[in-house]
Each structure stands twice: as structure tokens, then as C-alpha cells.
Amino acid sequence: MAYVIAEPCVDVMDKACVEECPVDCIYEGTRTLYINPNECVDCGACESACPVEAIFYEDDLPDEWKWYQAAAEACFATVGDPGGAADYSEIIPDDPRVSALPRRAQA
């Protein structure tokens, strides 16, 4: 089990969750952040830190955002388990479904 970052993060990427994650498992994509499900320890620190309420325990994901779990799994199936976002210098390639979303205007 793991936490999942869903649609409210797309084009926002506040990164308050990154600062709270004790295991450094939140990676940056082009348009959203991704939690590596193989590195997440299910502590929930990220969920309470997210200012846009984009992070859900996987069993609590709203139905319309269930695909974000598969998107994160697919991203890390491609790049593997880097072992910590701070030392990972690459941008995670966004899932094609994320890339296809309309751009959100920046405030």
C-alpha cells in the first residue's frame, strides 16, 4: 500500500509534501509529483502537508482519480527505484494521461 498524488497537484506542485516525507519518496515530474509506491512507508506525513489536498491513501482515492495510482506505478516501472528523490537529478516522465490534461492556469 502507498499514498498517491492525484489531479489537484497537476501544474501546481507546491512541494510542501516533499519537505515532510521522511523517506524522500516523492519525485518531480514535468507537471505533477509522484510518490514511488515501492519506497513509500505509508506514514501519511505528505497527506497532511499538501495544501491542495492532492494526496490520498490508495484505498481512499476518489473513483475518478484511481488511474493516478496506475500512473505512478507505470512511471516507476520505467525508471526503477532510485532510492531517494533528493539525489535523483532526472525529471520523472509524466504518464501520458497526465500529459494529456489541459494546462491549469497559474495563480
CATH of the domain at 79: 3.30.70.20
Q: Which grid coordinates are listed for 17?
A: 509534501
Q: Is residue 53 part of a domain?
A: yes
Q: Which grid coordinates are listed for 97?
A: 494521461
Arithmetic mean of pLDDT, 75-104: 93
pTM score of the predicted model: 0.94
Report the chain's terminal Cα–Cα distance, integer Å: 33
- How confident is residue 104, by pLDDT bands cut at 50, 70 and 90? confident
Q: Is residue 74 part of a domain?
A: yes
What's the rounded Cα separation, in Å, for the pair 21 and 96? Answer: 26
Contacts of 24 (CB under 8 A, 6+ apart): 39, 84, 85, 86
What's the rounded Cα separation, in Å, for the pair 48 and 45? Answer: 6
Contacts of 50 (CB under 8 A, 6+ apart): 5, 9, 14, 16, 17
Q: What is the DSSP letter of 79?
A: H
Q: Structural domain of residue 8, as residue ranges?
A: 3-86
15-25 confidence digits (pLDDT tens): 999 999 999 99
Q: Is residue 13 part of a domain?
A: yes
* Look-up of cell digits 519506497: 39
